[in-house]
Amino acid sequence: MLKKSSIKISVFLFIVACFVTSCNTNSNTKKEEVSTKPIHEISKLNISESAVYTTSASKDVKLQLTSANIAFSDFKQPLETEASIFINTSKSHQTFVGIGAALTDASAETFYKLTKDQQKLFMEAYYSIDKGIGYSLARTIIHSCDFSTNSYTYVEEGDAELKTFSIEHDKQYRLPFTKLAIAAAGGELTMFASPWSPPAFMKTNNNMLQGGKLKPEFYQPWANYYAKFIKAYEKEGIPIWGLSIQNEPMAVQRWESCIYTAEEERDFLKNYLGPTLEKESLGDKNIIVWDHNRDLLFERANVILSDPDANKYVWGTGFHWYEDWKDGTPMYKNVDQVNDAYPDKKLIFTEGCNEKYELSRIEDPVLAERYGKAMINDFNNGTVAWTDWNILLDETGGPNHVGNLCFAPVHGDTQTGKLTFTNSYYYIGHFSKFIRPGAKRLSTGTTANHISATSFKNTDGSIVVVALNDSDNDIDYMLTLDTQTTSLQMPARSIQTIILK
């Protein structure tokens, strides 16, 4: 049985509202807007309000206000022995789209096993800006994935004409769960959809599981399937902002999976999916390619985006974080390579979670730090949106029909109906609560290996700095914005958000 965490959201509510406002994404902005003034000629920022929020596993502090009214002085040159974060507010980069998570079957089924008061708390904790961490992005699945209680599709086996297409299965849990999330987010949630496998009869192995490929004769029926899904969900009041072509197209999994080479994904997109969506008046949907790990991200993007007939349909490239199974090292540089080679296209983190659920590890700070490090590095390399995997799982790390049990930021105990909020929830919240859609990333650097940081400027003018300390020691550091410096401290194994109004 999971222990109930102390939910300390109320500690930081009313002050945050003064600093952060929700805003719409401006998709027409350039990749980078740079001031022509040298740094020493930039006027001092007039900082009228400030606040520091901290989460520390070592001190049992959860997204709490730990400092206010920070005093800045004239720029101070850090010594080589001193830790420092420097932000150049004259150099701005990509426009932020949002942060969120996947609304899977497993999440929905677990949600409806919670008590009513915990269901209300869950929605507020994730989607309210004032009472929670303000998620603005979501991923949904096209029929089943491993985090479903069974394998299913929306058509009867063998129905190539899709005459039996129906999303009736989703009306029991996933659709009402998704509608509640949209309502909790204020009536608007940027939603993209991903398939894990075509129906078995469309595949070379006649099985939704264990890889296999889409048979060429079913390219058009499968493209039609996406269009039917989008229209069916939108008829239910769930707008679909975009879609990825295939979840993890290079992985033969024991669960739902389908393999595409880069050339096959390119050709399916340009010859079938793209034209079909346009024909069905769905050409405004944002198409995401790859949707797999960072290791082959640059290779896949090059093959697809260098083809003008495929490129014209692509909004951006999606990626996951599981490439570190090779040597424990995330390949962040590949994100930057794609951003550098294709600056007119977007980058979106589409999935990540901590695998191999063990109750004894639920408070392990390493799990939360994986989120913090990935988000900072991915944003600093040009990523515009970041999506966690399951938004909620039960006390076993499921349900999952193939036993692929994992961690989620929030777990629900289906025996007691109670929620447990892990450190990962709070770490993600240090970004999602304060950095709002439409924000522009600012150039940020650090001078200490144990400190990583990113920063954004919201459309209301507030500056948000997120800094991570992954060491076992408290760290004193200097924070410099252009020509002004202040001194702060981060506890061991902690993350901080500094808000400057």
Number of domains in the chain: 2
Boundary of a domain, candidates 434, 459, 479: 434
Boundary of a domain, candidates 434, 457, 478: 434
The DSSP string of 350-397 is: EE---BS--GGGTT-HHHHHHHHHHHHHHHHTT--EEEEEES-EETTS
In a domain, 388, yes or no: yes
Please tell me the distance from the alpha carbon of residue 207 to that of residue 215, in angstroms, as a whole number.
12
Q: How high is the pLDDT of residue 45?
A: 66
CA proximity to 10, closest of 131, 129, 128, 127: 131
How many beta carbons lie within 10 A of that of residue 307, not counting itself? 17
The DSSP string of 81-108 is: TSEEEEEEEEEEEEEP-EEEEE--HHHH
**One domain, residues 214 and 112:** yes
3-state secondary structure string across 190-237: EEEEEECCCCHHHECCCCCECCCCECHHHHHHHHHHHHHHHHHHHHCC
Q: Is the peptide bond before 399 cis (omega within 30 degrees of 0)?
A: yes
3-state secondary structure string across 120-146: HHHHHHHHCCCCCCCCCEEEEEECCCC
In a domain, 3, yes or no: no
In a domain, 233, yes or no: yes
Q: Which residues contact 461 (CB under 8 A, 6 or more apart)?
A: 501
**One domain, residues 313 and 267:** yes
Both tokens assigned to 415: 């025996």
**One domain, residues 85 and 117:** no
Q: How high is the pLDDT of residue 48?
A: 81
In a domain, 195, yes or no: yes
Both tokens assigned to 421: 């909020």
In a domain, 4, yes or no: no
Whole-model pTM? 0.92
Q: How high is the pLDDT of residue 233?
A: 98
**One domain, residues 267 and 389:** yes
The parts of the chain modelled with pLDDT lower than 50 are 1-43
- DSSP conformation class of 22: -
Both tokens assigned to 365: 């700070």
Sign, CA torsion 227/233/239/242? negative
- DSSP conformation class of 71: P
CA dihedral (315, 320, 323, 328) in degrees, to 10, reads 130
How many distinct helices (H) and strands (E) make up the chain? 12, 22
Q: How high is the pLDDT of residue 123?
A: 98
Please tell me the distance from the alpha carbon of residue 90 to that of residue 87, in angstroms, as a whole number.
9
Burial of 382 (0-12, 13-18, 19+ CB in 10 A): buried
Please tell me the distance from the alpha carbon of residue 408 to that of residue 395, in angstroms, as a whole number.
10
| H or E element at residue 475 | strand 475-481
Q: Which residues contact 45 (CB under 8 A, 6 or more apart)?
A: 89, 463, 481, 482, 484, 500
Q: How far is CA 230 from the centre of its chain?
A: 21
**One domain, residues 29 and 107:** no
Task: Determine the 3-state secondary structure of 134 from DSSP.
Answer: coil
**Is the distance from CB of 249 to CB of 262 less than 8 angstroms?**
no
**One domain, residues 169 and 297:** yes
Query: Domain range holding 389?
Result: 98-434
Q: How high is the pLDDT of residue 47?
A: 81
CATH of the domain at 202: 3.20.20.80
**One domain, residues 349 and 277:** yes
Task: Output b/e per residue, 17-32; b: 16+ Cβ within 10 A.
Answer: eebbebeebeeeeeee
How many beta carbons lie within 10 A of that of residue 491, not counting itself? 19
CA proximity to 226, closest of 189, 271, 194, 268: 194
Please tell me the distance from the alpha carbon of residue 237 to that of residue 417, in angstroms, as a whole number.
28
Boundary of a domain, candidates 410, 434, 458: 434
Place of tokens 């491993």: 146
**One domain, residues 294 and 180:** yes
Q: How high is the pLDDT of residue 15?
A: 36
| H or E element at residue 499 | strand 494-500
In a domain, 254, yes or no: yes
Please tell me the distance from the alpha carbon of residue 163 to that of residue 433, in angstroms, as a whole number.
44
Q: How high is the pLDDT of residue 44?
A: 62
Q: How high is the pLDDT of residue 60?
A: 87
Place of tokens 């400092």: 67
In a domain, 2, yes or no: no
In a domain, 1, yes or no: no
**One domain, residues 165 and 235:** yes
**One domain, residues 313 and 216:** yes
Q: How high is the pLDDT of residue 5?
A: 41
